[in-house]
Amino acid sequence: MSNTYPVLRGKTYFIRTFGCQMNMHDSERVSGLLDDCGLLEVATPEEADVVVFMTCCVRENADTRLYGQASAMVSAPVPPSGRRVVAVGGCIAQRDGERLREHVPNVDVVFGTSALASVPRLIAEAFESEPGAIEVDTVEEGRGFSTDLPSHRAQSFHAWVPIMTGCNNFCTYCIVPYVRGRERSRSMESVVSECGRLVADGVREITLLGQNVNSYGRDRYGEPRFAELLRKVGETGVDRIRFTSSNPKDLSEETIRAMAETQNVMPHLHLAVQSGSTRVLRAMNRSYTRDGYLRLAESLRRAIPDIALTTDIIVGFPGETEEDFQQTLSLVEEVGFSAAYTFIYSKRPGTPAASMQDDTPREVIQDRFDRLVALVERLAHDANQGELGREVGVLVEGTSKRDDAVLVGHSEKNVTVHFPAPDGASLDSLVGKIVPVHVDEARTWYLRGTVCGEAR
């Protein structure tokens, strides 16, 4: 491809990613495409001839961040090439298309969630057009999977592997089905083959991606086959398998057994609950109940006693009462989450919940949010205390931002772990290795320890 667009060769690019793991994966594919065209990655947007924003539109602050950072490029110094192209991709681009110019007047290229392969062409056309023109591709139909494109992975030892795209659930607060489309599963053979190639390339950890991985295969095979896929990926010999996102309504006992019986599936599951009130869950169109979620948590702990459960919770969904919120607090306490991503409800235009009326004062919602955060922090601290004195395996990712002599990585339960580099060990020799660490100190959001064995 490097000879296809000569106008791009030798230019520089910078990518900023907002949002979920799927966006991170998409950014790696865009980076791979630009590398393949002869562009060079730089560390800051100010240095770049091409600035790409990969966007998320799940919450309102993502729009605000994009508008601010993209518009800031207007006053940035002009690069040596004399022209900077600003490209916006991902969910906001898919949602707004050419209308994005209303908020980001300096945008040159807009590409949707299924149009990654078009990025080099769109950017080349922007460079060859008069300033003020705009190149747009938000067509969804007839596209292949982005996994067919080259990739520039952020970490050599970790890889994102999409197993499906889109979502059929249409939760009333969520914009994703409208910008990512309906569920489409890759073939099991293609996923397993990709994982095998990654293992041969030295990847130690694979994260399987989908808006709802538990329904993987339903569109292709007539029934979900995620449990079978987990087992087959386990047979590739990869050291660690993780997956996200996981909708409770489709988490089957078969999948729980596969998690328990496949040794390289890590003992951590992010299982978004969103609310502890069945009434609110019904209004969210979540298709499970409070009791159903609690039964799932019990099944998971029975099959994998030491599993770490994390979740997402929305506070202030339209119509939520104090009683509903108390049910959320009691569910969080009963499950004993190791961590939770907590959000105040953000109205997304185009979703059913956007038209739901709610007169709950903002200060009441903020108070609920603060109480939830305090509970989540206490439970996270308690969960990490259970790791004191244990040996955990840490996949080394690099050094601490505050101290180059301290290494950092994640445990099997996906907890951040800090530990001093062993005497005589170089960073290069340990990054991407799995190191046994004795936990000496447990804080709310991380562990500290010392190496207690050989890296592998």
* Domain ranges (residues) in the chain: 6-137, 155-265, 267-385, 391-451
- Binding-site residue ranges: 20, 56, 91, 167, 171, 174
pLDDT at 312: 97
The dihedral sign for the CA sequence 232, 234, 237, 241: positive
pLDDT at 201: 96
Q: 391-451: which CATH topology?
A: OB fold (Dihydrolipoamide Acetyltransferase, E2P) (2.40.50)
* Exposure letters 13-30 (e unless 16+ CB within 10 A, then b): bbbebbbbbbbbbbbbbb
* Exposure letters 190-212 (e unless 16+ CB within 10 A, then b): ebbebbbebbeeebbbbbbbbbb
- Binding-site residue ranges for [4Fe-4S] cluster: 20, 56, 91, 167, 171, 174
pLDDT at 80: 83
User: What is the gyration radius of the CA atoms in the chain, in angstroms?
Assistant: 23
- Angle at which helices 119-128 and 21-36 pack, to 10 degrees? 60
pLDDT at 133: 84
> What's the pTM value of the predicted model, to 2 decimals?
0.90
User: Into which CATH architecture does domain 6-137 fall?
Assistant: 3-Layer(aba) Sandwich (3.40)
pLDDT at 324: 98
In a 10 Å sphere around its CB, with 0-12 CB exposed, 13-18 middle and 19+ buried, how is residue 299 labelled?
middle
In terms of Cα–Cα distance, which of 404, 412, 391, 448 is closest to 430? 404
Classify strands 308-315 and 339-344 as parallel, antiparallel or unpaired: parallel
Question: Which residues sit opposite 409 in a β-bridge?
Answer: 396, 417
C-alpha span between 12 and 363 (Å, rounded): 46
pLDDT at 135: 85
Dihedral, CA of residue 294, residue 299, residue 301 and residue 303, to nearest 10: -170
What's the token pair of residue 261? Answer: 């019986």
pLDDT tens across the length of the chain (456 residues): 556 899 999 999 999 998 788 888 889 999 999 999 999 999 999 999 999 999 887 776 778 888 888 888 988 998 988 899 999 998 888 888 899 999 889 999 999 888 899 999 999 999 999 887 888 888 765 556 777 788 888 889 999 999 999 999 999 999 888 888 899 999 999 999 999 999 999 999 999 999 999 999 999 999 999 999 999 999 999 999 999 999 999 999 999 999 999 999 999 999 999 999 999 999 999 999 999 999 999 999 999 999 999 999 999 999 999 999 999 999 999 999 999 999 999 888 889 999 999 999 999 999 999 999 999 999 999 999 999 999 999 999 999 888 888 999 999 999 999 999 888 787 888 999 999 999 999 999 999 999 999 999
pLDDT at 140: 64
pLDDT at 91: 87
What's the pLDDT tens digit per position in 318-343? 999 999 999 999 999 999 999 999 99
Cα 223 to the center of its chain, rounded Å: 25
C-alpha span between 456 and 435 (Å, rounded): 7
CATH top class, domain 155-265: alpha beta
Identical fold at 155-265 and 391-451? no
CATH top class, domain 267-385: alpha beta
What's the pLDDT tens digit per position in 29-49? 999 999 999 999 999 999 999
In terms of Cα–Cα distance, which of 23, 22, 52, 18 is closest to 35? 52
